[in-house]
A and B are shown apart, each in its own frame.
Chain A
Amino acid sequence: EVQLVESGGGLVKPGGSLRLSCAASGFTFSSYNMNWVRQAPGKGLEWVSSINSSSNYISYADSVKGRFTISRDNAKNSLYLQMNSLRADDTAVYFCARDGLGAWSFDCWGQGTLVTVSS
C-alpha cells in the first residue's frame, strides 16, 4: 500500500524554525518527484515546494522562497522541509504529496502535519 506519513509539526514562535519529515512506503520512492502543499485553517490549497527524483531540480513558491528548504534522502525513503524565519501566515497543515509518473499532478497525499506559528 502506498503511504506517506508526515511528522515534525507543532507550535513554534514567530522567527523560529521547524523541520518536517515525510516517510514514504509502498512504492519506489527514488523514482518519483515529491512535493509539499499547505492549507491554512479554513483556506484553500497552496503549493509550497517541489523536488525531482534525483534532487537536482527544486522549486519554491514565492511566499516561502529563501526561508524554506526542501530535500530528500532516497536511501531513507524520506522527504524533508526545513522551515526557517517562520511567520504567523505559515500556520497551516502541511501535506507531503507525490507526483504521478508522467504527469505532475499529486496522485498520493499524506495525512498532513499541523504547524502553528504563534507567540
Chain B
Amino acid sequence: EIVMTQSPATLSVSPGERATLSCRASQSVSSNLAWYQQKPGQIPRLLIYGASTRATGIPVRFSGSGSGTEFTLTISSLQSEDFAVYYCQQYNNWRRTFGQGTKLEIK
C-alpha cells in the first residue's frame, strides 16, 4: 500500500496570503495525484488531478505541482471560502490511498 503523508497537519494563514500544502508518497506515483477540498458538513470536491490539472470550475488561484513522491498544492491568495480541510490522494494503482489531510485555518 502506498502511504500518503501530508504536512503540516494544520496551517494558519491570513486571508489574501499564499498557502502551500505538501503531500509525500511512500513510493513514486508518477503524476497520478489528486487534491480535494472538504468544508465542514460538505462532501469532498475535486480540485486538482494529474498533479497539476485544475478540475472543472476550480479557480486559477489553486495550483498543483510535483511528480514522483513530492507534491504541493498552492493557493495563491486565500479567500474566506478556502478555509477547509485538504486531502491528497494517489491513484497510481488500483488501490487508491488518501493523505490524512491538512486543515487550513484562518490566522
A47 to B4, CA, bound (A): 12
**Interface stretch (choices B16-24, B68-76, B91-99):** B91-99
User: What is the distance, in angstroms, from B70's C-beta to the closest C-beta of chain A?
Assistant: 18
Mark B18-48 against chain A: 1 for CB-CB distance below 8 A, else 0. Answer: 0000000000000010101010000111100
- Complex: chain A residue closest to B89, CB-CB: A105
A110 to B44, CA, bound (A): 9
- Contact yes or no, A45 B87, CB < 8 A: yes
- Complex: chain B residue closest to A58, CB-CB: B94
- Contact yes or no, A57 B89, CB < 8 A: no
Measured between beta carbons, the chain A residues less than 8 angstroms from B100 are: 44
A104 to B32, CA, bound (A): 8
Mark A43-70 against chain B: 1 for CB-CB distance below 8 A, else 0. Answer: 0111100100000010101100000000
Measured between beta carbons, the chain B residues less than 8 angstroms from A112 are: 43
A5 to B53, CA, bound (A): 27
**Contact count band on B:** 20 to 34
**Contact count band on A:** 20 to 34
- Contact yes or no, A47 B89, CB < 8 A: yes
- Contact yes or no, A103 B87, CB < 8 A: no
Hey, which bits of chain A sit against chain B, CB under 8 A? 35, 44-47, 50, 57, 59, 61-62, 95, 100, 103-107, 109-112
| Pairs A–B under 8 Å by Cβ, sample size 13 | A44-B99, A45-B44, A45-B89, A45-B101, A47-B97, A95-B44, A103-B49, A103-B50, A103-B91, A105-B50, A107-B49, A109-B43, A112-B43
Hey, which bits of chain B sit against chain A, CB under 8 A? 1, 32, 34, 36, 38, 43-46, 49-50, 53, 55, 85, 87, 89, 91, 94-101
> Closest 10 A-B residue pairs measured CB to CB?
A104-B91, A105-B34, A105-B49, A59-B94, A47-B96, A109-B43, A44-B101, A45-B98, A103-B49, A44-B100
